[in-house]
């Protein structure tokens, strides 16, 4: 995991994003936000499990499915199985130590 702070997120609502093997944060001080960094680490694990490219394909398919169904971009984002797992467990800093393989599937519906 490599944490990078970039201005390319400056004019977005995004505080952080995981693009294997990087975690890109909007501001350098976000490196101290353990919850945000843990959220992004969960995404890195998910990406590895799906050999990176399949993670992005699945993510995009889910996003567009939920966007069409809910007619809401933010609602679609919140329904993505990867995001649901990450949000549900971002406060548990030991989650990745006990997480089972493909745990995001529990959030897929």
pLDDT per residue over 64-82, tens digit each? 999 999 999 999 999 999 9
Distance between the two ends of the chain, CA-based, in angstroms?
A: 29
- In tens, the pLDDT along 95-108 reads 999 999 999 999 99
On whether the pTM is more than 0.75, the answer is yes
In the predicted model, is pLDDT for residue 6 greater than 90?
A: no
Beta bridge partners of 17: 24
C-beta separation of 16 from 40 below 8 A = yes
């Amino acid at each position: 995991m490599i944490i990078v702070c970039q201005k390319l997120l400056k004019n977005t609502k995004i505080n952080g994003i995981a693009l294997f093997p990087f975690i890109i944060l909007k501001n350098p001080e976000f490196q101290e936000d353990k919850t945000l960094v843990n959220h992004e680490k969960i995404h890195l694990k998910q990406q590895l499990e799906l050999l990176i490219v399949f993670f992005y394909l699945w993510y995009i398919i889910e996003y567009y499915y939920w966007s069409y169904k809910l007619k809401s971009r933010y609602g679609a984002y919140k329904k993505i199985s990867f995001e649901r797992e990450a949000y549900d467990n971002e406060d548990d800093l030991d989650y990745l130590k006990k997480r089972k393989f493909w745990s995001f599937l529990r959030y897929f519906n």
